[in-house]
Structures are given as C-alpha cells and as structure tokens.
Amino acid sequence: MLTIDLRLIASELTPGLKSGEYSIEDGSTVLDLLALCEKENGALIPDGNYEYMYPLFNSRPVRLETALTENGSLHLCRAVVGG
C-alpha cells in the first residue's frame, strides 16, 4: 500500500473532494486515486474537468494514467490553456 498526500490546488475541478492522505495499492494510477477520492468523499468529478487537470507527483509533471509506485505528494493543478 502507498500513502499519497493529495493537495487540490484547483479545487474548482474537483467539487466535493478533500485534500489529505489517501492509501492506494502500489501501481494504481492517478485516475485510480481520484476514483477512490470520489468514493470516500461521496463526490463526482465532472467528465469534462479531467482535460484541465495538471498533476504533479513529488514536484514532477505526470499524466492521469501514470502508475504510482512510491509514497509521495500529488498536487492537482489547473492546466494553463489558451492561445
């Protein structure tokens, strides 16, 4: 089991979720972690919000499909978009 310290910087993308420590299986993805957070917090992330998420794991950019294999911190930021 891994312990991930989730920090929701762009909380408008994740209504109802709470920052804090979550335990997940080794090899779970960022998306798996978000699904666990939804379940534990009784919340639902709107499908359209995922494209605006910019996750940083231990201060390094990662994808939502990235497997987590070590304890650490995940900051969920808003992606910079526009032209």
Q: What confidence tens digit (pLDDT) does each residue in 18-57 have?
A: 999 999 999 999 999 999 999 999 999 999 999 999 999 9
Amino acid of residue 64:
L
What is the mean predicted confidence (pLDDT) over 75-82? 88
If one looks up domain 2-78 in CATH, what number appears? 3.10.20.30
37-40 long-range contacts, CB within 8 A, separation 24+:
37/6
Whether this prediction's pTM lies above 0.85 is answered by yes
Q: What confidence tens digit (pLDDT) does each residue in 1-13 have?
A: 999 999 999 989 9
Which pLDDT belongs to residue 72?
Answer: 98
Task: List the domain boundaries for the chain.
Answer: 2-78
C-alpha count within 13 angstroms, C-beta hemisphere, residue 47: 0
Which pLDDT belongs to residue 80?
Answer: 85
